[in-house]
Structure formats: structure tokens, C-alpha cells
Amino acid sequence: MGRFDRVYAWFDDRLGLSKAQTFLGKAFPAEDSYLLGEVAAFCFLLLVLTGIFLGFFFEPSTTEVTYEGSVAEYQGEEMPEAFVSVLNITYDVPFGMFIRRLHHWAAHLFIASIGLHMLRVFFTGAYRNPREINWLVGTALASLAMAAAYTGYALPFDEFASTAASIGYNIATSIPLLGDPIGQIVFGGDFPSTATVPRLFFLHVLVIPLLIAGLLGLHFVILIRQKHTEAPRDEDVTGREHVDRDDDSVVIGLPMVPNQAAVSAAVFFLTLAVLSLLAGFLPVHNIAEYGPTDPASTPSLVMPDWFLMWGYGFLKLTPAWMSFDLFGVHVSSEFVGGLLLPGLVFVSVAVWPFIDYESEPTHFGADPLERPVPTAVGIAGVVFVMLASIAGMDVIVADLVGSTTAVIRPYLTAILIIGPILAGLTTYAVLGGFGNDEQAGGRATDNDGGDRSDARSDAIDTPDETSPVADKDGKQPEDPDE
Ligand code: HEM
């Protein structure tokens, strides 16, 4: 035994390295759409890193200070310290503008990739037994990502940010019974109080990122424990040996090290490259143009970013008469549009795996074209969110059609109700749902056959660098996860 082998054997004896090696050989599906989750994870990492940089220069305070930076028009003016510090980051701190833009674009890509990842999981039915828990964890992650973005863009306390924060404050305080304490805790009391920016800052840089990091850890632990689903296999899939199309006791894919690790590294650098390009060439939220907050005025066109637009749409479309009293408790239309309806959307998403319930473990992703009901529901959901987002831009729509928001809102409401139903029915019809009931269950039943989740726990062989591997569980050493 050579010296290296002896050292290795010593460590192996104490740390069980051969088990780790087995773990490192776990198979990852060689499917591009499975990389969307990785893009989201890398965006989170970049958000944390760029956020740390910004944290060194941002001042979470609304105390008025004299501006002495390099933007000529504000020279010598008294302005909130938070606003002044973001101006400094943008125009005076070396690399500040680039990092601020990188942080901004990473936030957008984070939410976009979460949305697409969620759609991939939804349309392939990857949320079904045994992955319902990870779907729930994912739904919580999606809502936290939006909360992170919201608390972030209130921070510079420019004219736009303070308007957004005041809308959030009004919605929060509209919560029946709990509104006032929540307004006190989250926004520091009557808006705008001097505590508003420090509270939102605390949520943005500590509470929400920690929750996201914790849930992300749980997401990955569950994923490693349960394994990925696999895309339906082609007839001729082979690794070292032929694997049956329907044999879900075997995982086919690239071993985590070195193949998948190399793919992930490429995904990371591509994500970084795309974000750097965006940050280099596309300006973000120009606070110098918006100017510091001015309690006496409201910007003419207030609109949230695209990912919150659907919630804003609900707020716009909920008519004032929807305020009512229930058992002596006042429920305002602001609460209905701003929290109840968006909350119902999240609850519907969360409970979906229990509606499209599968009693047996299902380890193959489904073909969406073979599942008319879930696919139709998914398309209806996407259309619903898109139409709600258009309703959030009602000012622009009214401008386009030469009318007023008051006139077009009833039409937008009707379209919001009818559009998704039509889209869902059309999808269902196109997929043969009306004519061919057998298809409606789809592949869900193709992969039944008892509890095979344990059988799949060993995807470990490390084959040659290029071909997909097929790992038979029966031939593997004991499961490193046990
Ligand atoms: C911070 C946000 C998120 C990150 C970073 C993330 C990351 C990942 C990664 C890397 C995977 C494995 C590869 C893949 O399937 O793409 C995965 C799987 C999964 N994710 Fe997420 N995810 C996030 C949010 C969500 C959301 C919003 C949902 C759904 C509501 C969700 C549900 C799932 C499920 C069910 C799986 C297992 C899929 C399978 O085995 O095919 N995730 N996630």
C-alpha cells in the first residue's frame, strides 16, 4: 500500500469516505429543464454576495442629512440618509453601480427561474407522491422570494419606494383584528415612521434570507433523500446494460461528481455571465430620477415589478363595495384584493398535490400532453396570473384604448374570470380530454407498482464521462443515506 493509500485508508476508517464516494456518484437526470432549480439557487447565492457588498454602504435611516456626493442636482440638499446612501453606492462607491445592478437583476432572475422551475415541476407532475412535502417547501420559498424583493425595493426611500411601502402598510393594517400590531411590528407604526426603513432592512437582510436559506436546505435534503423524478425514458435508453422503459427501481443520469458538478459549474458561470451583461448594460431603478420621498406628492405612475403585478391587479380590480362586516369584524376591500385573493392563489398552489393525489410513489415525470386535467388547470392558472398582471397595468391599458381606468376595470374583471376558463377548456379539448377519458389519468398509472422509493435510493455508479448511467439498486453497497 502506497503512502497516499495509507493516508486515505486512515481517513476512510474514521470518516467513512467510501460511503461519501458512493454518495458523490449519485445520478442526476441529464435533462436541461432540471437545471432551472440550480439557476434559482445560484441567483440566491449571488444575491447574498452582492447584498453583503451593498450592506457595507447602505444606511437604514430616514434622518435628513446633507447630500455631498457627485449628483449635481442634489448638491447641498437635505435628504433621507437611506436615499443618500443609495445615491452614493450608485455614483461614488467603486463598482457600486455594477454591484447594485447585479443585485437587482439577480433578484429578477431568481424569481423568474423559481417560476419556471415551479412550472416544470407542475407540468411534469413531479409534485406527486412522495414529493408533496417538497412542493410545499417550494411554495413557501416562492412567497419568501417575493417578500424579499418587496422589502428590498422599499429601502432606498425614494419617491417610488416610499409609495410602494405605503401601499404595503395600508394592506398590512387592513388585516382584520391583527392589522394594527402587524403595522407596528413590520412598518414601525404610522407610515412613514422613522422605524419603517430599519424594520424593512432587518427583514430584507436577515429574517427573510435566513428563512430562505433554511428552507432551501430542507428542499435539498428532501431532494437528495427522495431523488429527482426522471423524464419518461425512450425505448432504447441504455447505460452499461439495457434498462426497461418502466423500471423505476433504477435511476438514470449523470453521476454528481464529476459530470453533474461540471454541468452545475457551467450553469453557475452562465448565470453570472448573463447577470453581468445585464448589469453592465441595462440601468436599474434610477433613484436620481425619482428623487427623495416627498410626503406631499404621489408619483404619477406607480407600478410594482412584474412579479408582484398580479397581486397589484387584484388590488386594482377589487371594488370598494367589497368591504363588509363579518360578526362585527370589518373586512376591507383592500384586505380582500391585497391579501385574501393573493393568499388564496398561494393556498391553491400549495394544496394542488393533494387534489391531484397519487396514492403510490411515482418516480417518472409525466408527459403534460398525456394529462389533460392537470395541464388544463396549469394553463388556466398561468393565464389567470398573466391577466391579473395586465389588470395591474390598467393605467397603461386605459391609455392604449383611449379610455379611463374606471371604464375598463369591469371589462378587465370579466376577462380575468372568463379568460382562464376558456384557456383551460381549450387545453383540455386539444389534449383529447373530452373525447378520450382514458388519457385523463396520464402516465400517473404507468409507474405504479408498490413502494419503490427505497429501491431508488442508490444511484451511485460512476461510469465513463459521457454516457448516461443506469444504476441498479440491487447491486449497490448499502445506502449512504441510511
Ligand atoms: C428558492 C427557490 C428554489 C430553489 C433554489 C429550488 C431548487 C431546486 C433544485 C436545484 C431542484 C433539483 C433540480 C430540479 O428539479 O430543478 C429542485 C427540485 C424540486 N423543487 Fe425546487 N427550488 C425552489 C423553489 C421551488 C418551488 C417554488 C417549488 C414548487 C412550488 C419547488 C418544488 C420542487 C420539487 C417538487 C422538486 C423535485 C422535482 C423532481 O424531483 O423532479 N421548488 N428544486
Q: Is 37 in the pocket of ligand 1 (CB under 6 A)?
A: yes
Cβ–ligand 1 distance for 81 under 6 Å, the answer no
| pLDDT, position 295 | 67
Position 462 scores a pLDDT of 39
pLDDT (0 to 100) of residue 238: 55
DSSP-derived 3-state class of residue 364: strand
List strand residue ranges (DSSP E) for 283-385, in order.
Answer: 324-326, 329-331
**Residue 300: pLDDT band with limits 50, 70, 90:** low
CB atoms within 10 A of CB 418: 11
Q: What is the per-residue pLDDT for 478?
A: 37
Q: Of 186-190, 404-408, 429-433, 478-482, give the lowest mean pLDDT range.
A: 478-482
Please tell me the predicted confidence (pLDDT) of residue 292.
83
pLDDT at residue number 20: 80
- Which residue would you say has higher pLDDT here, 269 or 24? 269
For cell 424593512, the residue is 200
Q: Is residue 473 part of a domain?
A: no
Domain annotation covers residue 49: yes
Task: Report how far ligand 1's centroid is from the alpha carbon of 128 (Å).
Answer: 13
Specify the pLDDT at position 28: 87
Would you say 80 and 293 are in contact if contact means Cβ atoms under 8 Å apart?
yes
H-only helix segments in 356-393: 372-392
> How many angstroms does the Cα of residue 39 sit away from the middle of ligand 1?
11
471 occurs within a structural domain: no
18-32, 302-316, 343-357, 406-420: the lowest-pLDDT one: 18-32
Each residue's pLDDT tens digit, 86-98: 999 999 999 999 9
State residue 257's pLDDT score: 84
Is residue 463 assigned to a domain? Answer: no
Q: How many CB atoms lie within 10 A of CB 15?
A: 10
Radius of gyration of the chain (CA): 26
Q: For 91-139, write each residue's pLDDT tens digit.
A: 999 999 999 999 999 999 999 999 999 999 999 999 999 999 999 999 9
Contact in structure between 473 and 250 (CB atoms under 8 Å):
yes
pLDDT at 245: 75
Assess whether the C-beta atom of 363 lies below 6 angstroms from ligand 1.
no
Residue 452: predicted pLDDT: 39
Q: How far is the CA of 34 from the centre of ligand 1 (A)?
A: 9
Q: Can you give the CATH number for the domain in which 439 is found?
A: 1.20.810.10
| % of the chain residues with pLDDT over 70 | 87
Q: How many domains does one find in the chain? A: 1
Q: Among 38, 121, 128, name the best residue to mutate to test ligand 1's pocket (greatest count of ligand atoms within 8 A of Cβ).
A: 121
Residue 184 has pLDDT above 90, yes or no: yes
Question: Is the CB–ligand 1 distance for residue 26 below 6 Å?
Answer: no
**Residues spanned by the domain of 414:** 21-456
Is residue 201 included in any domain, yes or no? Answer: yes
* 477 inside domain: no
Tell me: the pLDDT tens digits for 353-395? Answer: 999 999 999 999 999 999 999 999 999 999 999 999 999 999 9
- Tell me the HSE value of 477 on the side-chain side, using a 13 A CA sphere: 13
- Let me know if residue 479 belongs to a domain: no
In whole angstroms, give the CA distance from residue 143 to residue 122: 17
Residue 40 CB–ligand 1 contact under 6 Å: yes
pLDDT value, residue 282:
93
**How far is CA 70 from its chain centroid?**
37
Ligand 1, atom 27: closest residue by C-alpha:
138
> Which three three-digit cell numbers place residue 137?
417547501
Q: How far apart are CA 419 and CA 385, in angstroms?
A: 11
Residue 140 lies in a domain: yes
